[in-house]
Amino acid sequence: MLLAVQSTPLDFLPIALMFVVALGFVVIMLFLTHQLGPKKKSKVKLETFECGIEVQGNARLPFSIKYFLVAILFVLFDVEVIFMYPWAVNFKQLGLIGFVEMLTFVGFLLVGFYYILKKGALKWE
């Protein structure tokens, strides 16, 4: 049983047009700014900024694992949210059963969320 929804790949053609226009604009801007403007390079000028002192090493440094954990949790939550879209669109058709189904799903999500909070994975100091 398929719903009578009309949508074709042709709907996406204008997006491609916009992409071409925006890409052209960005390329022209970057090219122009490269051509215009003075070009007086010196060694000191091309160094990176470090509040006036000499640069210590470079910025290829490892950073806190917290950010990494946030990124992993984001991926998981993002997938959960994606699952909700087909449900939300059909919310009225699916009725009470659908609502209970999603409550179960959200319940599991909340259990995981509670675990994350309990373990202090999102604690920043």
Partner 1 sequence: MTLDFLIYKIILVLIVFSITLLVATYSTYAERKIAAFLQDRIGPDRAGPFGILQPLADAVKMFMKEEIIPNVSNKALFVLGPGICMLTACMTGVIIPWGKTINIGGTDYPLQIADVNIGILYLFGVLSLGVYGIMIGGWASNNKYSLLGAIRASSQMISYEVAMGISIIALVMTTGTLSTAEIAAQQHGWHWNVLIQPLGCLIFIICAFAETNRAPFDLPECETELVGGYHTEYSSMKLGLFLFSEYINMFISSAVIATFYFGGYNMPLIGRWVHDPNALAILGIVFLFMKIVGFIFFFMWVRWTLPRFRYDQLMNLGWKILIPLSILNLVLTGAWMMRHEIMVYFVK
Partner 2 sequence: MITTYLFYLLSFLAIMFALMVVFSKNPIHSVLYLVLAFFTIAGHYVLLNAQFLAAVHIIVYAGAIMVLFLFVIMLLNLNKETEPHKSVWLKASAAVASGSLLVVLVGSLKGAAGIQSAKTFDASIGLIENLGQTLFNDFLLPFEVSSILLLSAMVGAVMLGKKSIK
Interatomic CA distance for residues 70 and 122, integer angstroms = 8
* Strand (E) or helix (H) holding 73: helix 65-89
Two structure tokens written together for 57:
């090493």
Interface positions, 69-108, toward partner 1 (CB under 8 A) = 70-71, 74, 77-78, 81, 84-85, 88-92, 95-96, 99, 102-103, 106
Two structure tokens written together for 109:
């999500």
Question: Which residue is it, tokens 């009725």?
Answer: 95
Given the rule CB under 8 A, which residues bind partner 1? 5, 7, 10-15, 17-19, 21-23, 25-27, 29-30, 32-34, 36-41, 43, 45-51, 55, 58-61, 63, 67, 70-71, 74, 77-78, 81, 84-85, 88-92, 95-96, 99, 102-103, 106, 109-110, 113, 117, 122, 124-125
